[in-house]
Structures are given as C-alpha cells and as structure tokens.
Amino acid sequence: MNVDFANRVKNLPPYLFKEIDRLKAELLAKGVDVINLGVGDPDLRTPSHIIERLQTAAQDPANHQYPLYSGMNAFRDAVARWYKQRFDVHLDPSTQVLTLIGSKEGIAHLPLAFINPGDVALVPSPAYPVYQVAVMFAGGTSHIMPLVKENGFLPDLSAIPEETAQRAKLLFINYPNNPTGAVADAAFFEEVVAFAKRYDIIVCHDAAYSEIAFDDYRPMSFLQVPGAMDVGIEFHSLSKTYNMTGWRIGFAVGNAHVISGLAQIKSNVDSGVFNAVQLAGVEALDGDQKCVQEMQAIYQKRRDILIEGLRRAGLNAQPPKATFYVWCPTPQGMSSADFTAKLLKEAGIVTTPGSGFGAPGEGYVRMALTVDKERVREAVHRILKLSW
C-alpha cells in the first residue's frame, strides 16, 4: 500500500497518553498495583432509573429505525425543560437544541460548518485537545489563548492582537475547565459576549462539567448572560452528569443559526443517537436529580482527601470548585513530564502531565478524582513517602 495518510492525520499532535500508557503497561506487567488518576472517566455507575428506561425503550420496535437527524422531539423538549429549570434560560426546542453523539462529536464537527481554509479560531491552552484538532481538520488556524494562574485560568481577551481578532470566526471557552478546574463568572461571560459582538465571532462554550460542582457552588450557563444567545452556543454532556460516558449522548443549545450549521454537517456525517438512548436521556434530565447531588458529594469527599494530602506533601494544590480534576503544581523546578514519570515509577500513580494539554500547562499535572476514596487515600499515602 503506497497511499500515504492525509496531512490532517500526519499533522495530528502525539497521543497524549502514549508514553504514560507504555510506562503503565510496564508496571502492570511487573505486578505493581497501579492507581489511575489519569483518565476523566467516572468510575460510578449510571443511575438505575436511567438504565431501566433504556431497557424498556430498547424493546420497542418503534425505536429500532433511524433516529431524526436533529434528535427526538421528546429529548429536545426535555433539554429545554432542564435548561429552564436549571438556568432559567428559555430555549426553542425546534431551532435552539440539537442532540449530539456526546459533546465531543459536536465540538469536533462545529468548525466544519464555519471555518474555511485559512480562517482563524481562538483556542485556549491548556485545553481539551479536540478544539485545536477540529479547527485543523477544517483547514483553519488556531490562535492560542494561554490560561495562566495569574488570570484565574481565564483567557486574556485584551492580549489578542487586533488583526487576529478581526480575522477570527470562532472562540472556544470551557468552564468549569478541563484540565485546570477553574470556573468563570458572569463578568467574564459578559466580556466574552462584548468581544464576540465587536468582532463578529461565534462563541462555543463547552459546559461538559456544569453539574460537577462542590460546596454549594452552581456553575452558570453562558446563555444566562444578556446577548449570549446572539453570539454563541453551549455544549453539554450527559456523560459526566449522569455517569453515561459510554452511552454517547450530549447536546448543543443556543443561537439558531449556529445550531443549524452544525446540524447540516451532522446530517451528512451521522444518523443521530439511538432513540432508546435518547429516551433514557429524557429520563435522566426529567427524573430525580438526587443522583447528581450524591455524585457531587462523592467527588467532593475524594477532592478533600487528595487536596489535604497534596498540601501535606508540600504541593500547593488548590481545591477546585468544580470538575473532578485537581490541577496540581509540580515540585519546584520539576517538569510536568518528569513529575508524572516519578509518580508513576516511584508510587504507581498515573497522572497526566499538564504540558500534554498545551505548552502553557507546563509546571502542572492533572489528577482525576475518578477512583474511590480508599484509593485516593492510598495515593496520598504513597505520595507522602516520596521526596523531591
């Protein structure tokens, strides 16, 4: 076979977890008891009432055919009800809501609808890698907005050169943030709306972690800010909120023009989400939200154990108000990659190097709170034995 990969494949950044996976496999082969704080995949099970709804919906032959491209009316209506109840934002389910095969799918397809070759997108770093790759797949160029501690891990919009802002078509933001755990307030979102209006830019707010929050803190929706509906959309996911990562269901909401662009790309690429999964999604959104509160309490407990331990070990980690990630600074002078390797080799703990999410993430490692509290305690116990 002499057919080479296309440039978009050749230009993909190296797989973030490749070296970690290699080291992890090596330790597992040696019989080491590895604690995995590397992946952001909830260890908790999907609540029973959601599973039961899937079971009955899967038995109904009406659900066995191709779904509607934009999603079942029942699911989009449930999204609108949930939005009104959770954020007091009114959505028209027929034009402002779109079912996604997980929010990753929607994020990855959006640039294809609005970016022409050579166009610019404003992308944060460190960040979920899909934003930058999706822009590259569409032939666009990413202008990186560094997220640094001094600015609360929010992008500094005033640092974007005038000429770049004039050319930009898309702006990605993500709060509560992966990987930094940072949150955004109304003042920041207002600044984003004003910036987007000034330069005619579409805002894509990734709110995948809006329901993973602690200490009575409730993240807001970008669409709660006046004018946001004119400039952008928001991505949500049932993956983290209801421990449904494997089910593949999420949604985009907001500006009808942006939603329709994304829907046009999708109708040519995929054929929607299995109706039975959408009906289980309706159950999740309409059903008792006690399961969400219980999940929050579990992550909060794990967070407190880990933060307390890291501080005792001399690492100045801040407790995140939201997300199940701890963004932990490395010990003085140690690179992200070296600290990750040390934690793995000397303590059998898998973490993700901050630099893997983009150069501005150097000096941090990300720890996911997706193992039970006894394992978090064990991780702390092992970290306290290390020296640096």
Ligand X SMILES: Cc1ncc(COP(=O)(O)O)c(C=O)c1O
Return residues touching ligand X (CB under 6 A).
40, 102-104, 128, 174, 178, 206, 208, 237, 239, 245, 250
Angle, vertex CA 286, rays to CA 213 and CA 233, nearest 5: 60
CB closer to ligand X out of 54 and 383: 54
Nearest to 351 by CA among 60, 34, 7: 34
Least CB distance to ligand X at residue 208 (A): 4
Question: Both tokens of residue 173?
Answer: 């933001």
Least CB distance to ligand X at residue 107 (A): 6
CB closer to ligand X out of 292 and 347: 292
3-class secondary structure per residue, 236-270: EEHHHHCCCHHHCCEEEEECHHHHHHHHHHHHCCC
CB closer to ligand X out of 203 and 347: 203
Q: At 24, which helix (H) or strand (E)?
A: helix 18-29
CB closer to ligand X out of 104 and 109: 104
CB closer to ligand X out of 128 and 195: 128
Determine the Cα–Cα distance for residues 197 and 170; give it in Å rounded to an integer: 12
Question: Both tokens of residue 375?
Answer: 């394992």
Least CB distance to ligand X at residue 356 (A): 13
Least CB distance to ligand X at residue 388 (A): 29
DSSP 45-64: PPPHHHHHHHHHHHH-GGGS
Least CB distance to ligand X at residue 46 (A): 13
Least CB distance to ligand X at residue 209 (A): 7
CB closer to ligand X out of 212 and 263: 212
Determine the Cα–Cα distance for residues 375 and 342; give it in Å rounded to an integer: 18
